[in-house]
């Protein structure tokens, strides 16, 4: 029954193989990462100096909006789904995902959605220009005509995520090899299981909020319009009810990846496996009750403001537990620092720095000075770039030899790491300062007192962008002409994926393995 | 009542997960907005004053004087002049007071306006009762027409003691497009009037 | 769509230009600013204190955690010949590093709570100011004083486009300041005319969203006279970065004098409404009004932005019937970004800008309109 892949282009169109689909998600997400990066470089080029030199304010707003949408929905989320597709079946000893044909559909609607979204740049009135958080009424009454295509694209992306999540949960709950109990699953599988439930819970809420927008724009309703008895702040509540769990959706799988890599290169088991599982579940649960910390200046009543401040601060506890556990994994290990380990350690340190600025933001009265400034931009870029992106990069370096059977060049990998590390810190660390100095977000021009930090940020951004081109080169040259990799690849990694040959055969675990 | 589930456990699980997804969508669209509105109405948070006040307040508190301020703003593109006749009044809780806003449509077109109230401090919202308000309905003003808009209110004697000033703001919106029937019916009435011998 | 980069020269000379432009401004521009201002109100100073407390807590925790990590990275490496240990769980440790952070959080939350409670108390103010956010300017109404005006960005476009050196308050200067007395509790009632904006002055420690259709309240008590600058802090469209705030805190006597002056100014404008102006007076004044209030969208050359803001040069209302032109400026155009400027500009200014638009850029309609015409139009005559 097992046979090799089909030939030709239609292989990719019709494939139901989790490895093929995982690869497509990863290539797609990388292309989106480059595209979102180009939008970011337009922003940073304009902000290199005070004055309006390159783009008009309206186009600048389109760049910031598309940068956010493409990175969140086109780069980070599909990359994690790609890793899930490749790794979850192998990690649980299953032959494929639970619903392979729905898996294909989940992927292929994404290029369609993003083509539509990016094509809005060329429509009359331009692309969406209201920020990736698209508050009403800027995004309803005052939006360009392309907002309808934006809404359609969001619906499609949401459908893709929901279908993918259903697939992931069904695979994890129903298709584990005999002997693989829940508490024997790798942490990557646990974090994705919990993430998938979060996705099913909140992507429909996003679909709901853009549907209400659509109603307000085209069908005369007044969900978010005060004139008809509605309230713009209702938009913010519903959006952030989705939006806050969404940012945890973008980091929980990262926790899983790093929890696989650090033990391998410390040559020591992950410290506190069950605590890590409970902490992940606690983070997921808490993520539902903190949403209004994005709205501290919207004029909420005092009791509400206090509640959200306390709940937000509380999330630091399970997150801290995870950081301590990774540290304890490293402690008294016997570490080597190959590229995946470099990216993972940088993740722990820099994500924690992002967590610190998050804790500061949680303090509501102080947030009155931070909200909508570059301090917030610094915070979320620290948790997303050396957070989510580094974990994905780490995962790619870690598992690429298993996927294609070839080793990447360690010298090149380390070069990529250091360029990216220096680049991102140059880009985002000064943003803490420009934010505290008083620079608001989403402005194309600024007073000279912010100029020094902005110039450094812009230089760092181009360096970071260049590093990603190097990454592309590394991946392609590895696939084409890398040295042959062993089956185990690393010294003694844990997990079923290392028991199959490198490259992994097209069909693995057609017969379930025995798990002790 | 046991619902028929597919035999295959995977399909059964997927159906349940799909139902969860749909339930969250329904929650976002059909449950969250009404909960938000009810929450605001019941607690008075968000400054949205309620509808017509029906109950009778017992007695006037002559020991206390509350300042009630009146503001008027025009939303974008609303060209009417719209202002309260007095900037503020001092009232005893429990005593009914009437104040007037004046509106004037200076354009050459018939228009329909909607006044949306907003009140601070939030903790006073549920203690501010309007027995009659121009904000309960849309206001039709023909081209060049003016109107006197009364608002009857009572401040509840149970208003928390720390509140000394209540600020009520009306934002005037142009809702002509939403209520074309008001323009039509008024045109009909004036036609009938002119048709009378 | 892309702005013409002003030749290669600025790019090649950028470093030199930056240095030279800073040298002339070294005294005025504070560079390399790391931290938020302590500010001039008890609220801003309280917030600064909270911020620093949180910062030091984070530094402390970071030093400990990263210290352990760096220690491990140096001493627990395979290249040192270390053999890995095997321990992988400890309930005691997990409890410890759950409980201790909770205790730390409580210690952080306590002062934050007392600060927030104080911050929320807007009652018993000495005066009220209604602040309305517009696309893209602020309007200030002094309640009870009958003083009300718009505050527009006053940085000249040439500075923004790099055709003139930037002034010391680039993008943070306005034509009208919000003048207030020191040591008085001032309550701000904040709303918006169109989309959500946010009013923020860092030195006062005040930031509040401006929501259309709703009022929100906040307050301040400024302890030191001076000029304090802020910006809009919620994306509100094209010129979100170009609608600053300037608060000027003065002594009580100066404040009262300023109020009287403002009332006199308003009375003078009302008087001007009945005056008859010459064509040249209207044209000159109109050009100023146009550059201040119209050029952001319709551009200084009157050509607008194709597909977004209509051209006024040789087409449209500016070369059509004058009554229609006046109506568009006074009442705006519903469903578009063209606001009702009749509510924002005096009759004199409207008459002037209409006259200017009809005669500038080669339009040469030859007609003009007087303030009384605008007043009458507003009355529906």
* pLDDT tens digits, one per residue of C351-378: 999 999 999 999 999 889 999 888 888 7
pLDDT (0 to 100) of residue C26: 41
Q: How confident is the model at residue C5 (pLDDT cuts 50, 70, 90)?
A: very low
- What phi, psi does B103 have (nearest 5°)? -130, 145
Q: Neighbouring chains of C at 3+ CB pairs within 8 Å?
A: A, B
Q: Using an 8 Å CB-CB cutoff, list chain A residues near C159.
A: 51
E-assigned strands of chain C? 127-134, 137-142, 147-151, 178-181, 185-192, 197-201, 206-210, 216-221, 226-232, 245-250
ipTM: 0.94
Cα gap A123→C127, rounded to integer Å: 49
CA distances from A364 to A303, C54, C110, C188, C207 (A): 12, 12, 12, 19, 12
CB burial of residue B6 (10 Å; 0-12, 13-18, 19+): exposed
| Cβ-proximal residues to C315 (8 Å cutoff; 6+ apart), any chain | none
- Residues of chain A scoring pLDDT < 50: 1
The CA angle A441-A447-A450, to the nearest 5 degrees, is: 65
- Cis amide leading into C136 (omega within 30): yes
Is B133:C94 a contact under the CB 8 Å cutoff?
Answer: no
- Closest-CA distance of chain A to residue B117, Å: 10
CA distances from C253 to A465, C146, C319 (A): 57, 18, 50
Would the pTM of this model clear 0.80, i.e. be above it? Answer: yes
Q: Please answer yes or no on whether C212 and B74 come within 8 Å at the CB atom.
A: no
Cα gap A152→A131, rounded to integer Å: 17
pLDDT digits (tens, 9 = 90+) for A110-130: 999 999 999 999 998 999 999
C194 near A CB under 8 A: yes
Distance linking the first and last C-alpha atoms of chain A: 28
Look at residue C10 and tell me whether its pLDDT is greater than 50. Answer: no
The CATH number of the domain where A179 resides is what? Answer: 1.20.210.10
- What phi, psi does A254 have (nearest 5°)? -60, -40
Distance of CA A132 to the CA centre of its chain: 14
CATH class of the region C275-379: mainly alpha
Distance of CA B128 to the CA centre of its chain: 13
- Residue C113 has its nearest CB partner, among A306, A333, A455, at A306
Q: What is the CATH number of domain C42-119?
A: 1.10.287.90
In the predicted model, what is the mean pLDDT of residues C232-247? 97
Domain positions in chain B: 7-43, 66-185
Q: Using an 8 Å CB-CB cutoff, list chain A residues near B135.
A: none
Query: Whose structure tokens read 């009749």?
Result: C342
- Does any domain span residue A484? no
- Residue A227 has its nearest CB partner, among B25, B33, B116, at B116
Cβ neighbours, 10 Å, residue C120? 18
Best of B17, B31, B37 to substitute, by most chain A Cβ atoms within 10 angstroms, is B17
For the annotated catalytic residues of A, the residue numbers are: 67, 96, 132, 160-161, 244, 246, 248, 259, 293-294, 319, 322, 441
Query: Whose structure tokens read 């080169």?
Result: A473
A235 near B CB under 8 A: no
Look at residue C25 and tell me whether its pLDDT is greater than 70. Answer: no
Look at residue B193 and tell me whether its pLDDT is greater than 80. Answer: no
With respect to CATH, is domain B66-185 assigned 3.40.1080.10?
A: no
Q: Using an 8 Å CB-CB cutoff, list chain B residues near C375.
A: none
CB burial of residue C258 (10 Å; 0-12, 13-18, 19+): middle
Cβ neighbours, 10 Å, residue A131? 19
In this structure, what DSSP letter does residue A71 have? I
Nearest CA among C317, C146, C134, C370 for reference residue C238: C134
pLDDT (0 to 100) of residue B51: 78
Look at residue C20 and tell me whether its pLDDT is greater than 60. Answer: no
The mean-pLDDT minimum among A155-159, A408-412, B54-58, C79-83 falls in B54-58
pLDDT (0 to 100) of residue B194: 62
- Residue A138 has its nearest CB partner, among C205, C236, C239, at C236
Beta strand B96-104 with B128-133 is: unpaired
Distance linking the first and last C-alpha atoms of chain C: 42
- Does any domain span residue A132? yes
Cα gap A107→A82, rounded to integer Å: 9
Q: Please answer yes or no on whether B13 and A170 come within 8 Å at the CB atom.
A: yes
Q: Which CATH architecture has domain C127-269?
A: Sandwich (2.60)
| Cβ-proximal residues to C342 (8 Å cutoff; 6+ apart), any chain | B79, C329, C330, C331, C332, C350, C374, C378
Q: Which residue has the higher pLDDT, A444 or B33?
A: A444
Nearest CA among C138, C143, C146, C113 for reference residue C125: C143
Cα gap A143→A125, rounded to integer Å: 9
Q: Which residue has the higher pLDDT, C143 or C7?
A: C143
- Does any domain span residue A84? yes
Look at residue C8 and tell me whether its pLDDT is greater than 50. Answer: no
Distance of CA A261 to the CA centre of its chain: 18
Q: Which residue has the higher pLDDT, B137 or C12?
A: B137
- Cis amide leading into A503 (omega within 30): yes
DSSP symbols for A278-291: HHHHHHHHHGGG-G
Q: Which residue has the higher pLDDT, C68 or B32?
A: C68
| Cβ-proximal residues to C336 (8 Å cutoff; 6+ apart), any chain | none
A282 near C CB under 8 A: no
CA distances from C315 to A363, C290, C320, C359 (A): 54, 17, 8, 12
Query: Whose structure tokens read 């598992």?
Result: A399
- Residue A448 has its nearest CB partner, among C29, C120, C233, at C29
Query: Whose structure tokens read 């980091």?
Result: A251
- Residue A371 has its nearest CB partner, among C6, C117, C207, at C207
Q: Please answer yes or no on whether A269 and C88 come within 8 Å at the CB atom.
A: yes
pLDDT (0 to 100) of residue C275: 87
pLDDT digits (tens, 9 = 90+) for C291-309: 988 988 899 999 998 878 8
A200 near B CB under 8 A: yes
B76 near C CB under 8 A: yes
E-assigned strands of C182-303? 185-192, 197-201, 206-210, 216-221, 226-232, 245-250
Q: Where in chain C is the domain with CATH 2.60.40.420?
A: 127-269
- Closest-CA distance of chain B to residue A388, Å: 25
Distance of CA A328 to the CA centre of its chain: 26
Percentage of residues in chain C having pLDDT higher than 70 = 91
Q: Look up the domain containing A114 and give its range.
A: 16-226
Identify residues of C whose CB sits under 8 angstroms from chain B CBs: 122-124, 128, 130, 132, 134-135, 143-144, 189, 191, 193-194, 212-217, 327, 330-335, 339-340, 342-343, 377-380
Number of domains observed in the structure of chain A: 1
Q: Neighbouring chains of A at 3+ CB pairs within 8 Å?
A: B, C
Cα gap C63→C72, rounded to integer Å: 14
Q: Between B and C, how many residue pairs show a Cβ–Cβ distance under 8 A?
A: 94
Look at residue C379 and tell me whether its pLDDT is greater than 80. Answer: no
Is C325:C357 a contact under the CB 8 Å cutoff?
Answer: yes
For B16, the closest chain A residue by CA position comes to A166
Look at residue B46 and tell me whether its pLDDT is greater than 80. Answer: no
- Residue A142 has its nearest CB partner, among C54, C195, C216, at C195
- Put simply, the chain B residues between 123 and 162 with a CB less than 8 A from any chain A CB are none
pLDDT digits (tens, 9 = 90+) for B105-143: 887 789 999 999 999 999 899 899 999 999 999 999 998
| Cβ-proximal residues to C265 (8 Å cutoff; 6+ apart), any chain | none
Cα gap B135→B151, rounded to integer Å: 8
- Put simply, the chain A residues between 24 and 53 with a CB less than 8 A from any chain C CB are 48-53
Cα gap A73→A210, rounded to integer Å: 15
């Amino acid at each position: 029954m097992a046979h090799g892949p089909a030939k030709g282009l239609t292989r990719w169109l019709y494939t139901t193989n989790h490895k093929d689909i995982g690869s497509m998600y990863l290539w797609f997400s990388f292309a989106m990462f480059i595209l979102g990066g180009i939008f970011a470089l337009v922003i940073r080029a304009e902000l290199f100096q005070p004055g309006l030199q390159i783009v008009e304010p309206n186009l600048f707003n389109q760049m910031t909006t598309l940068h956010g949408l493409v990175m969140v929905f086109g780069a980070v989320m599909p990359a994690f789904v790609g890793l899930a597709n490749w790794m979850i079946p192998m990690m649980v000893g299953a032959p494929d995902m639970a619903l392979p044909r729905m898996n294909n559909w989940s992927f292929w609607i994404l290029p369609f959605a993003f083509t539509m979204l990016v094509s809005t740049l060329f429509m009359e009135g331009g692309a969406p220009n209201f920020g990736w958080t698209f508050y009403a009424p800027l995004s309803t009454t005052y939006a360009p005509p392309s907002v309808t295509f934006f809404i359609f694209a969001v619906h499609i992306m949401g459908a893709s995520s929901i279908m993918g999540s259903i697939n992931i949960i069904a695979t994890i709950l129903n298709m584990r090899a005999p002997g693989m109990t829940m508490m024997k699953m790798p942490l990557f599988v646990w974090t994705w299981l919990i993430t998938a439930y979060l996705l099913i819970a909140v992507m429909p809420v996003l679909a709901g909020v853009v549907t209400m927008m659509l109603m307000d724009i085209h069908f005369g309703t007044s969900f978010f319009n005060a004139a008809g008895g509605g309230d713009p702040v209702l938009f913010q509540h519903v959006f952030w009810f989705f939006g806050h769990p969404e940012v945890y959706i973008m980091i929980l799988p990262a926790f899983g990846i790093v929890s696989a890599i650090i033990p391998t290169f410390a040559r020591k088991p992950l410290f506190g496996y069950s605590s890590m599982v409970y902490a992940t579940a606690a983070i997921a649960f808490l993520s539902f009750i903190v949403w209004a910390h994005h709205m501290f200046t919207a004029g909420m009543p005092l009791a509400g403001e206090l509640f959200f401040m306390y709940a937000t601060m509380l999330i630091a506890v399970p997150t801290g537990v995870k950081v301590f556990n990774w540290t304890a994994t490293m402690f008294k290990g016997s570490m080597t620092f190959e590229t995946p380990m470099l990216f993972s350690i940088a993740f722990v340190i820099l994500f924690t720095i992002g967590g610190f600025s998050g804790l500061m933001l949680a303090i509501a009265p102080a947030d009155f000075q931070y909200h909508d400034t570059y301090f917030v931009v610094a915070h979320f870029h620290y948790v997303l770039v050396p957070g989510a992106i580094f974990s994905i990069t780490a995962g790619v370096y870690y598992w690429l030899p298993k996927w294609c059977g070839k080793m990447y060049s360690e010298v090149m990998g380390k070069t990529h790491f250091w360029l990216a590390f220096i680049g991102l810190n140059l880009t985002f660390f000064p943003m803490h300062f420009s934010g505290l100095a008083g620079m608001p977000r989403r402005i194309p021009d600024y007073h000279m007192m912010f100029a020094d930090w902005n110039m450094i940020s812009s230089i760092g951004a181009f360096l970071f962008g260049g590093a990603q081109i190097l990454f592309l080169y590394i991946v392609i040259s590895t696939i084409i002409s890398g040295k042959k990799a062993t089956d185990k690849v690393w010294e003694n990694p844990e997990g079923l994926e290392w028991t199959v040959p490198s490259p992994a055969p097209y069909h693995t675990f057609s017969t379930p393995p025995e798990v002790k | 009542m046991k619902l028929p589930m597919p035999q295959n456990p995977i399909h059964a699980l997927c159906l349940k997960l799909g139902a969860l997804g749909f339930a969250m969508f329904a929650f976002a669209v059909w449950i969250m907005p009404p909960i938000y509105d009810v929450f605001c109405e019941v607690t008075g948070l968000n400054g949205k004053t309620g509808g017509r006040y029906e109950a009778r307040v017992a007695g006037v508190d002559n020991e206390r004087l509350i300042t009630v301020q009146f503001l008027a703003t025009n939303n974008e593109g609303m060209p009417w002049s719209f202002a309260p006749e007095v900037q503020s009044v001092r009232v005893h809780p429990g005593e009914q007071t009437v104040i007037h806003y004046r509106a004037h449509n200076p354009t050459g077109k018939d228009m329909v306006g909607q006044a949306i109230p907003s009140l601070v401090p939030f903790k006073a919202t549920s203690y501010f009762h309007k027995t009659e308000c121009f904000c309960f309905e849309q206001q039709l003003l023909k081209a060049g027409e003016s109107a006197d808009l009364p608002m009857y209110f009572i401040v509840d004697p149970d208003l928390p003691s720390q509140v000394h000033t209540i600020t009520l703001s009306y934002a005037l919106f142009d809702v002509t497009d939403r209520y074309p029937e008001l323009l039509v019916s008024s045109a009909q009435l004036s036609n009938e009037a002119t048709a009378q011998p | 769509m892309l702005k013409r980069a002003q030749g290669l020269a600025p790019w090649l000379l950028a470093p030199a230009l930056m240095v030279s432009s800073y040298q002339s401004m070294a005294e005025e521009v504070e560079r390399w600013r790391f931290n938020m201002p302590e500010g001039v109100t008890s609220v801003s100073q309280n917030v600064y204190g909270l911020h620093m407390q949180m910062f030091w807590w984070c530094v402390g925790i970071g030093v400990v955690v990263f210290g352990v990590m760096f220690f491990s990275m140096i001493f627990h490496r395979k290249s040192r010949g270390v053999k890995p240990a095997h321990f992988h769980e400890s309930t005691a440790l997990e409890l410890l590093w759950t409980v201790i952070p909770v205790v730390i959080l409580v210690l952080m939350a306590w002062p934050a709570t007392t600060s927030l409670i104080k911050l929320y108390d807007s009652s018993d103010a000495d005066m009220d100011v209604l602040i309305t956010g517009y696309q893209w300017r602020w309007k200030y109404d002094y309640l009870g004083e009958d003083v009300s005006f718009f505050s527009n960005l006053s940085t000249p476009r040439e500075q923004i486009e790099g055709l003139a050196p930037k002034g010391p308050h680039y993008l943070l200067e306005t034509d009208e300041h919000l003048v207030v007395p020191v040591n008085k509790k001032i309550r701000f009632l904040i709303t918006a005319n169109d989309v959500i904006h946010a009013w923020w002055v860092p030195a006062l420690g005040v930031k509040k969203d401006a929501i259309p259709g709703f009022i929100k309240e906040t307050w301040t008590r400024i302890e030191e006279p001076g000029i304090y600058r802020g910006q809009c802090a919620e994306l509100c469209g094209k010129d979100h970065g170009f609608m600053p705030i300037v608060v000027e805190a003065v002594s009580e006597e100066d404040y009262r004098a300023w109020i009287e002056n403002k009332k006199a100014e308003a009375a003078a404008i009302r008087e001007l409404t009945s005056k008859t102006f010459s064509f040249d007076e209207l044209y000159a004044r109109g050009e100023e009004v146009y550059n201040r209030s119209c050029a952001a969208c319709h551009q200084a050359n009157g050509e607008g932005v194709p597909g977004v803001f209509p051209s006024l040069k040789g087409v449209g209302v500016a070369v059509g019937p004058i009554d229609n032109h006046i109506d568009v400026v006074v009442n705006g155009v519903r469903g578009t970004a063209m606001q009702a400027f009749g509510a924002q500009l005096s009759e004199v200014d409207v008459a002037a800008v209409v006259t200017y638009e009809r005669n500038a850029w080669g339009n040469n309609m030859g007609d003009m309109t007087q303030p009384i015409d605008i007043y009458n139009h507003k009355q529906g005559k």
